[in-house]
Amino acid sequence: MTVLATVKGPHMDWSALSPLLALFGGATLTLLMGLLRPRFVRHALVPGAAVASLGAAMGLAIWQWDRHADLVSAALRIDGLALVLMLIIFTAGIAAVLLSWRAAAPVEAAHGEYFSLMLTSIAGMVLLVEAQNTITLFVAFELLSIPLYVLCATEMRRATSLESGLKYLIVGSVGSATLVYGLAMLYGATGSTDFSGIAKAAGAGGIGTDVLFLTGIALTLTGLAFKASVAPFHQWTPDVYEGAPTPVTAFMAVATKAAAFGVLLRLFDVALIDSQADWGPIMAALAATTIIVGNVGALAQTSLKRLLAWSGVAQAGYLLAGVVVSTQLGVKATVFYLAVYLAMNLAAFAVIVARERETGLGDHIDSVAGLGAARPLLAWPMTLAMLSLAGIPGTAGFIGKIYLIEASVDGGYTWLGVFIVVGSMISLAYYLRVIAAVWMRPEPETALVPSAVGPGGRPALAGGSATDPLEPAIATSEGIRAAEPEVVFVAVLFGIATLAGGIVPSPLFNLVKHAGRALTGLF
């Protein structure tokens, strides 16, 4: 008789894990299908499968809607916050797939890999918002980041895309290293990797003066600030956003931000809640800096993607205000604003994608000039998105901003509320510039005339690819074509969502109430 050592695996709650499984299944499937030869499979079935797996994940998340449980030995937790953020991330994912469907990037980087990477990154985001200990947090963080580094560089024939990927990789690695260092210090100070264990140690008192603990908090915050593009750790954002293929930029801007803020909420408003007095003022200062830096940085931009990158930095500052106050109201306001942010940014990015394909001007602000007269279906979503980002009444952005200001005032950070307002004032200058271009300038003459040099001044190498018999799609992707219906659909859908969220916000409020219930330790 030999005694078999039995290792008892953790209990697996398959139903609660099902959204994740759908994503990993989808990632594998798209990767394998991308190997198949027929053009139809690669160009239609692969993106279709990606959408299907995201749709399935979304359906499964809704199926699990009322769950509140710890999974896999309490490494993950499924609760209202995770589920609401999942919905936001999946929606962003579906929109990104639709925008990438007939873009140049998947053609150049191969369809299977492109969509598979996207799904993997989404799975990383889901893991991140479910994470309950620092190990899962870090693994999820890397799972989300590494595919994104590659995705940024998928327009391989464009130097700026490669530059963007490389820059993101380097800066992201610094961020990850800082994060893991900070997490290790937290472990050293509290003796626990679990959020609940950290919370217990932090709540026990006496730890507030521990240098190790405080340094750990600072480094962790820094690491996450890199990902959420919070100033002064935002410098990569404009360059990477500009260089990356626009659908990827849209995806990064929305989904990454949702995931990063999800984990910020979990880590700071749950695990470290008892040392709020230590990190609160610092984070508030970061938020204020971010608001000002982001808005001032956006003022002089002529590239729409850079403009939205800077505006994204500023919006991260607004969102951070909701984390700082660490109240129920703050959590709800943050999640609310994330949902609003999703709608308005996707609408804007979809219009940029459409105009990149239609005008050959890249993402320069001229590409949307005269849109009001020429393409009302694109002009309106862009206008609504800009108005909403600026926080004009009648749009979802207005209510989101009221909510955040209210959370700040209520949480004793009135001055931060004033910063949000001041930031919004500065932001008017550049958002209105876009609207002015859309409605009040004539269409540029170069529009709809094919130019020898493609979007963003591609290197001559691109010219050679047009004759590549294997990939005839490239020929069209280099040139000028009408925006595909799915791109217009994304723009219009999220334009309407932006407006609807401003007029009938109740459904959104119900959604965030669900998320707020998940964090019970707060006022």
Q: Which is nearer to another protein, 184 or 402 (CB)?
A: 402
CB atoms within 10 A of CB 27: 24
> Candidates 75-83, 125-133, 253-261, 430-438 — which segment interacts with another protein by CB under 8 A?
430-438
CB of 398 to another protein, least distance (A): 7
Nearer to another protein, 456 or 501 (CB): 501
Sign of CA dihedral 458, 464, 466, 468: negative
Cβ distance to another protein smaller for residue 357 or 401: 401
**How many Å apart are CA 240 and CA 305, to the nearest integer?**
10
* 424 binds another protein per the rule CB under 8 A: yes
Q: Kindly tell me which residue out of 12, 69, 299, 432 binds another protein, with binding defined by CB under 8 A.
A: 432
Q: Are 395 and 499 in contact (CB under 8 A)?
A: yes
Answer for which of 429, 496, 500, 522 binds another protein (CB under 8 A) is 429
405 makes contact with another protein (CB under 8 A): yes
Tokens linked to 5: 């050592």
CB 95 within 8 A of CB 488: no
User: Which burial class, exposed, middle or buried, applies to 67 when counting CB atoms under 10 A from its CB (0-12, 13-18, 19+)?
Assistant: middle
Q: How far is the CB of 425 from another protein (least distance, A)?
A: 5
9's CB contacts (< 8 A; 6+ apart) are: none
Question: What gap in Å lies between CA 95 and CA 381, rounded to an integer?
Answer: 15
Taking CB under 8 A as the criterion, the residue among 12, 170, 440, 461 binding another protein is: 440
Q: How far is CA 477 from CA 35, 219, 262, 316, 344, in A?
A: 21, 43, 36, 33, 26
Tell me if 414 contacts another protein by CB under 8 A.
yes
**x/- contact string, 347-386, with another protein (CB under 8 A)?**
-------------------------xx-------------
Interacting span for another protein (CB under 8 A) from 226-234, 279-287, 317-325, 388-396: 388-396
Kindly tell me which of 332 and 458 has the beta carbon lying closer to another protein.
332
Q: 279: Cβ–Cβ under 8 A, 6 or more apart, which residues? A: 217, 218, 221, 268, 272
Least distance to another protein from the beta carbon of 504, Å?
9
Cβ density class 264-293: b for 16+ within 10 Å, e for less: bbbbbbbbbbbbbebbbeebbebbbbbbbb
CA separation for the pair 212, 15 (Å, rounded): 39
410 makes contact with another protein (CB under 8 A): yes
Q: Least CB distance from residue 374 to another protein, whole Å?
A: 11
CB 295 to another protein: min, Å: 13
The answer to whether residue 302 forms part of the interface with another protein (CB under 8 A) is no
Q: For residue 180, what are the CA distances in angstroms to 135, 183, 230, 280, 432?
A: 9, 5, 18, 21, 41
Choice between 32 and 373, CB closer to another protein: 373
Binding of residue 496 to another protein (CB under 8 A)? no
The residue among 92 and 499 lying less far from another protein, judged by its C-beta, is 499
Residues that bind another protein (CB under 8 A): 332, 372-373, 387, 390-394, 398-399, 401-403, 405-406, 409-410, 414, 417-418, 420-421, 424-425, 428-429, 432-433, 435-436, 439-441, 505-506, 509, 513
